[in-house]
Amino acid sequence: MTHNHQTLSRRTTILGLTAAWALGGSSLAVAQTALPADRRFVVILLRGGMDGLAVVAPYGDPALRLLRPKLALPDPSAADGLQDLGGFFGLHPALSHLGDLYRQGDMLVAHAVASPYRSRSHFEAQDLLELGAADASIARPASGWLARTLAEISQTRAIAMGMAPSLLLLGGRNVTTHGFSPLAVPHEDFYARVSALHQHDPLTGPALTAAFRGRRSEQEASARRTEPAERDRGSFPALARLAGELLATPDGARIAALELGGWDTHASQELRLPLALRQLDAGILALKDGLKDHWQRTTILVMSEFGRTARENGTSGTDHGTAGAALLIGGAVAGGRVIGTWPGLSPEKLFEGRDLAPTTDIRSLAIAVLRTQLGLTPPATERIFPGTRNDSGLAGLFRA
């Protein structure tokens, strides 16, 4: 524990206070349920507002370099430039594995997407994204949309890894938690004695029983970690690999939800964004590796609560915006393209004069997955996403 503490302190010092969340802010939840055609579905929440304009940069839009003289990366023709996605958009160079997946047709980008509500508050926007709300001003759903999805599919058991279950699965049945403790593990006899002391406690007794069970299953699923990014067992790549393995287990999990923080790049974005991107990149690779052959039947939806301002700010960063980019990744995806309607970045085209304007509702992406991959139809999809009766989801996103 001492060693870990010093490591964390050193990182925090170099990178500033937000770094603690960039590195420590990840969790995993999985649900055991049968999906059609033995498919897998993973939702990855990027907390903090991912800058879609930097991650999938519209280098073909002449306004970009005017809005971001410092932050805009070189074109694909340059050695350290963007990875070309078809002549107009370029993928951030830090996402090298995702670039490979795109070229193999396993990744699709949706740009200028946003939720239906307009909130530039992280907390509210994340909540509403996870709860699947239509509008900020009306009563919020009491459960997460993924939990509602599980309810529509069948009786399911969800396991959350990490300390607190994310809102996505709020309201889901039987959520228990596992996690990676940085502390030295006491000997079994100590645990046995502690257990005995709690046997009559109605709250702590069952919690400890579930925790011991969770520890054992986590140990069974883990293999030796060799990737440097996964050495920190609580890190996003490590959790992502574990998710893949759990999703690959016979009669095991079929739906997973992961989260990754570190996207709120108000300052020094040229330094901070690559950190988060490398975690994401390593994580998707580890997830794919863990899934093995099941990758062919997997869909991963990567989303964030909002994008960021089109203009860079005075501290070499960007602020909370509106539309951004979302990713669909996996063997089930008909990828290799960027979908959506590009609104343009000239001043009159910006939303409220500052943000990329949204042209696609992010729920349409999710609904497309629910309908095509999970076999759900209205009214089920409308129960999951209230207010989407007329939304049939985007078509043609998946391989037959």
Partner 1 sequence: MADGPAATTAPQEAYNAVIRFGLGMSLAAPRPPIDPRGWLSRQLSEPDPEAGRPTDDGGTLAIMAARKIDRDRNLAGTDSHLRPLVETNEARFVRHALTTDLPFRERLVWLWGNHLTVSKRSSNAAPFIAPFFREVIRPHAAGQFGSMLLAAVRHPAMLLYLDNTNSIGPNSTSGRRHNRGLNENLAREILELMTVGRDAGYTQADVTAFAKILTGWRISSDQGFAFDKAAHEPGWKTVMGRTYPEGEEGGIAILQHLADHPATHRRLAQRLVRHFCSHVIPGDVGRIEACLRDTRGNLGIAALVTTQLAAAWQPPLSRIRSPMDYAVACLRALHGTGATADLAASLRILGQPLWSAPQPTGWPDEDQYWVAPEAVLRRVDWAHTIAGRVRSSVEPGAIAEAALGPFLSAATLSEIRKAGSRQDALGLLLAATEFLRR
Are residues 84 and 56 in contact, defined by beta-carbon separation less than 8 angstroms? no
User: Is the C-alpha dihedral spanning 328, 332, 337, 341 positive or negative?
Assistant: negative
- Binding residues for partner 1 restricted to 15-44, rule: CB under 8 A: 16-18, 20-21, 24
CA max distance for the chain:
69
CA dist., res. 150 & res. 32, Å (int) = 9
Residue type, 46: L
The nearest distance, CB 286 to partner 1, in angstroms, is: 21
Helix (H) or strand (E) holding 145: helix 145-153
Closest Cα to residue 40, out of 248, 237, 239?
248
CA distances from 39 to 58, 174, 248, 335, 394 (A): 33, 22, 10, 17, 19
Residue type for position 166: S
> Of the two residues 143 and 299, which places its CB atom closer to partner 1 in the complex?
143
186 binds partner 1 (CB under 8 A): yes
CA distance 237 to 244: 10
Number of residues this chain uses to bind partner 1 (CB under 8 A): 57
Q: Which is nearer to partner 1, 275 or 334 (CB)?
A: 275
Alpha-carbon span 110 to 116, nearest angstrom: 15
379 upstream amide cis, omega within 30 of 0: yes
Which of 193, 216, 231, 292 is the binder for partner 1 (CB under 8 A)?
Answer: 193
Q: Quick one: which of 88, 100, 105, 212 contacts partner 1 (CB under 8 A)?
A: 212
Cα gap 262→283, rounded to integer Å: 14
Strand ranges of the sheet holding 90-91, from the earlier edge strand across to the other edge: 56-57, 90-91, 83-84
Q: Which of residues 39, 178, 254, 294 is near partner 1 by CB under 8 A?
A: 178
Site map for partner 1, 138-167, x if CB under 8 A? Answer: ----------------------xxxxxx--
Query: If binding is defined by CB under 8 A, does position 7 make contact with partner 1?
Result: no
Q: Which stretch binds partner 1 (CB under 8 A): 101-109, 178-186, 363-371, 388-396?
A: 178-186
Asked if 85 and 91 count as a contact pair (C-beta separation under 8 A), the reply is yes
Per CB under 8 A, 215 contacts partner 1: yes
The single residue listed with the structure tokens 């909370």 is 320
Among 62, 194, 252, 341, binds partner 1 (CB under 8 A): 194
Q: How far is the CB of 41 from partner 1 (least distance, A)?
A: 24
Interaction mask 75-94, partner 1, x per CB under 8 A:
--------------------
- Of 103, 157, 198, 349, the residue at the interface with partner 1 (CB under 8 A) is 198
Region from 102-110, 204-212, 287-295, 300-308 binding partner 1, contact rule CB under 8 A? 204-212
Closer CB to partner 1, residue 215 or residue 337? 215
Which residues are near partner 1 by CB under 8 A?
A: 1, 5, 8, 13-14, 16-18, 20-21, 24, 120-123, 127, 137, 160-165, 176-179, 181-186, 189-191, 193-194, 196-198, 200-201, 203-205, 207-212, 214-215, 266, 352-353
